[in-house]
A and B are shown apart, each in its own frame.
Chain A
Amino acid sequence: MVLLESKADKRLGRQTVAFANPPVLAAAAAVAGPMEGEGPLGRLFDEVVPDRLVGQKTWEQAEVKLLEKAIHRALGKAGLKPTDLDWIVSGDLLNQLGASSFAGRTLDRPFFGVFGACAAWAESLTLAAMMIDGGFAHRVGVAASSHHEAAERQFRYPIEMGYQRPPTATWTVTGAGAAVLVDPRAVGDGAWPRITHATPGRLVDMGIKDPFDLGSAMAPAAADTIEAHLRDTGRGPGDYDLIITGDLGQAGRAIAVELLMQVGYNAEPVLDDCGLMIYDRKRQDVHCGGSGCACSATVFAARFFGDLRAGRMRRMLLVSTGAMFSPTTFQQGESIPGIAYAVAVESQSAAREEDR
């Protein structure tokens, strides 16, 4: 095959996309479980369900309910109905995307299920933004969910099993986050925040095999994607008010900071982790922090979306991180590859500064 000279004109460097018409985040919503509700972000969630089963019979059905609630809340905040969406892009941790697919069943719109482990949130945002900037959609619903009990029984041990988690373990967040992305040309200049860049990540495998230490497995992927993003955009960590990873936890965050230092980026002052924000680690026994698709989705929707919209935060890099393993792969002795997707989100104040 002869490759003709061609140029993807929205591509920047090796692996970053710079959107020509940065899609607008019209609304975002977060629904959380009772334990997350007791955490430091409790008051910021759109809804805290009082019951981990959300009135359902199984943990899996409970996760579906959380996802539906989050999508409906995001739509409500944007003043839209499900039928207003062109596509829905959603991801979760369950086998065959059990939560997303079954939530998609009631939403009745064309549906893309995305598996990126806990990175599903930023991966879905990336794909939705590409759909809009590519001219394939006006409005796209994006969602991600996880459920502590549903994840435990699939990946680890039965819920009531009495065992000790090692200190590197993280706690899967029960909750769901959703957002509505719209074409900026449909909403005018005053609508912010917007997704300006996206950097999909490579799968990075440093040979970690411990499923109770996913922070270590994902940190190299997070560092790799952040480095690629900064290199491609010519930016430094200081160009962001905050670089926020999904669920590296305490140890994983420290490893990512050191790996970035090795390639010449000092991210220490601006790099934080959603997993370190969602629980009170002194009071709630979660060891290294929170994890799961809902970790970055709910923390972004509850904690940062409002700040970006109001201009209290100028520009942030959201980096959802995922560990690609299943009980089958780790029982067969495979190591755990990590992946990270980065999306740069800007408020109106950042755009004003650039105009000057």
Chain B
Amino acid sequence: MKATMQQEQEFKKLQRKHLPSRPVLRNALLAFLVGGAISAVGEGVRQFFLARGIGPEAAAGPTAAVMIFLGALLTGLGVYDEIGRVGGMGAFLPITGFANSIVAPAMDFKREGWILGMGAKMFTIAGPVVVYGLLTSFAVGLVYYILYIPR
């Protein structure tokens, strides 16, 4: 039985009464704390490189590499999914979350082999981020070019 539009509307009304509410405030606070903590660690790593005489621009590269390594390591140890469960977007958005989104499917699909399993599937989640990230960068670059470069 497929409900009519009207039946669907009525059901949605009934359903809404019983659905548990999303703890938006708590989630936002935890995302802030977890995301902030990850960023603070990142800043600590950056300061480490700065203190060793690497310039501010050049320090970004090794800092990102260390954070990616940490994200991958914690995923492999089975910790990052717990951080993500608590921190939500705060854990997904930093570069450690990006590492998690690649290592998690890689671990999962290793069982289907190195090529069609891990190799093919490790970008199932990160792939769209890369694709649309590149697309956005291109668009921003184009706007930047039109506005500033010719002058």
* A residues with CB within 8 A of B: 57-58, 153, 157-168, 202-208, 213, 216, 220, 224, 250-251, 254-255, 258-259, 285, 287-288, 337
Contacts and interface: CB of A to CB of B under 8 A. Distances in A.
10 contacts: A57-B111, A158-B107, A160-B80, A160-B81, A160-B108, A162-B81, A167-B23, A204-B1, A206-B7, A258-B18
A162 B108 contact: no
Contacts of B97: 162
**Which 5 interchain pairs have the tightest Cβ spacing?**
A162-B84, A207-B8, A164-B88, A158-B108, A158-B104
Q: How large is the interface on B (under 10, 10 to 19, 20 to 34, 35 or more residues)?
A: 35 or more
Given A160-B80, A160-B103, A164-B27, A213 B19 contact: yes
B139 interface: no
A281 to B, nearest CB: 11
A44 to B, nearest CB: 28
Nearest to A152: B108
Given A162-B80, A206-B7, A207-B8, A251 B88 contact: no
Given A158-B107, A160-B80, 17 more contacts: A158-B105, A159-B81, A159-B108, A160-B78, A161-B84, A162-B85, A162-B92, A162-B97, A163-B85, A164-B85, A164-B87, A206-B3, A206-B11, A207-B11, A216-B19, A220-B11, A250-B20
In this complex, which of A160, A224, A258, A259 has the most chain B Cβ atoms within 10 angstroms of its Cβ? A160
B63 interface: no
In this complex, which of A157, A161, A205, A287 has the most chain B Cβ atoms within 10 angstroms of its Cβ? A161
Nearest to A337: B2
Interface in B79-104: 80-85, 87-89, 91-92, 97, 100-101, 103-104
Contacts of B91: 162
Nearest to A162: B84
Given A157-B104, A160-B104, A167 B1 contact: no
Contacts of B8: 206-207
